[in-house]
Amino acid sequence: MGDPMRDKGSMGIVMGVVRAAVGIAFLVLCVAVLIQVLGRSVFNSSPVWTEELTRFALLYLAAFGAGLSFRSGDLVNVDLVCEALPGRLPWLLRLVSALATAVLCAILLWPAWRYTSIGVMQTSPALGWRMDFIHASILVLLLSLLVFAALRVLRMLSGASDGRPVQAEES
């Protein structure tokens, strides 16, 4: 069976962008926490905005990371019974699972967009940022999961993948 989701072509571009976004969110998180810790322990005063920035960075870290976690099988995955079934049943259940994930994400996009648009009227207390940029992390999460679930479905139906998660050494 072919390599499930090897980093080739457009998939390589998607993987590169998502990995870079996760890295940037993690870097922002680390810098904000470092400033907070130094402020509290060295200067006896921590900037208030660091706590808010840490939360926002964590939201985007999780949002971009959700698709990568789906790809690698690092999301909650109880497959003991599934993989013990005979014949093509495990493949079929993996297909149904990926399809259900993609469909659910697609259904939730409109409500997530409405939730995001509410944030135009709100600002964060410490940073003063418009909250639609923060609420958009939900859209990013849904789109990330949708893209990786849909890619798994397409690859399974084309025969390029058996639907098993791609392990770290294969990425």
Q: Is residue 1 part of a domain?
A: no
Lowest mean pLDDT among 65-74, 102-111, 123-132: 65-74
Q: Rounded distance, CA 35 to CA 32, Å?
A: 5
Q: Is residue 135 part of a domain?
A: yes
Question: What is the number of structural domains in the chain?
Answer: 1
Q: Is residue 85 part of a domain?
A: yes
Examine the pLDDT at 168 and tell me if it is beyond 80: no
Q: Rounded distance, CA 95 to CA 155, Å?
A: 10
Q: Is residue 86 part of a domain?
A: yes
Secondary structure (H, E, C), 55-104? HHHHHHHHHHHHHHHHHHCCCCCCCHHHHHCCCCHHHHHHHHHHHHHHHH
Q: Is residue 111 part of a domain?
A: yes
Q: Is residue 3 part of a domain?
A: no
For residue 108, what are the domain limits? 9-170
Examine the pLDDT at 84 and tell me if it is beyond 90: no
Q: Is residue 61 part of a domain?
A: yes
Q: Is residue 4 part of a domain?
A: no
Whole-structure pTM value? 0.84
